[in-house]
Structure 1
Amino acid sequence: MIDLAGVTFCDSSGLDALLGARIETGRQGLTLDLARPAHAVARLLEITGADKVFPIDPGIPFVPKTRAG
């Protein structure tokens, strides 16, 4: 699990690193979970669709998705 609570900014390089780590853990038969992303990071994951490939640990609060209405 990667605890993202202290990460306030993530760009394409950070996302690429997370996706690379996910691929590598998958090759080893493991799952890479993300926990507690800050709003900006959660939004990046949502916009790029990465929130669908990374499990979010259910025991740790996740920033809820919001939709502009």
Structure 2
Amino acid sequence: MTDSDQILTVTPRVTPSGPYVLDVVGELDHHTAHFLSEAVNEAPFDDHGVILDLSGLTYCDSTGITVLITAHQKSQAAGSPLVLAGVNPDQMRVLQVVGLDQVFTFRPGGAAT
């Protein structure tokens, strides 16, 4: 897959007095998960925390869920909050089925901070 075939974008943005936000748009699967994984690795897990804005996410497979779990583990190790924002009902159902609704912190809607 070349960059021109990329169907996932991850755009970092720093909010003035709050968390670091990663806007995730497109399909998160085994072909594109490395884009989010790299962004998570570069995110400053600090006192302000990190928000993964998934309101633009159209698809997420098990590889994508693994990246989300890795982000959670990184936040826990750093003592930094991690929030998943804008999770659509279908994705939430999958997270509930595998029990991850008990692991993550959620915010309805996007991360418009």
Q: 1:29 pairs with 54, 79, 85, which one?
A: 79
Preserved CA contact (<8 Å) 1:5 1:35: yes
**Partners in 1 of 2:66 and 2:58 — Cα distance?**
16
Q: Looking at both structures, which has the greater relative contact order when contacts are Cα pairs under 8 Å and sequence separation is at least 6?
A: 1
Gaps of 5+ in 1: 62-69
Residues 32 and 54 in structure 1, CA contact (< 8 A), matched pair in contact too = yes
Q: Counterpart amino acid of 1:36?
A: G
Q: Of the candidates 62, 70, 73, which is equivalent to residue 20 of structure 1?
A: 70
CA distance in 2, matches of 1:20, 1:31: 14
TM-score by length of 2: 0.49
Q: Which runs of at least 4 in structure 1 moved beyond 3 Å after TM superposition? A: none
Root-mean-square deviation over aligned CA pairs = 1.6
Equivalent of 1:43 in 73, 87, 93:
93
> What pairs up with 1:2-21 in 2 under 5 angstroms?
2-21=52-71
* Structure having the higher Rg: 2
Q: Say if 1:6 and 1:38, in contact at 8 Å, map to a contact too.
A: no
SS in 1 for 2:106: coil
Rounded to whole Å, the distance in 1 between the matches of 2:97 and 2:68 is: 15
**TM-score normalized with structure 1 length:** 0.77
In structure 1, distance between residues paired with 2:86 and 2:75: 20
By percentage of residues, which structure has more helix? Answer: 1
- Residue aligning to 2:34: none
Q: Which amino acid aligns with 1:19?
A: I
Question: Quick check: 1:9–1:40 contact (8 Å CA) kept in 2?
Answer: no
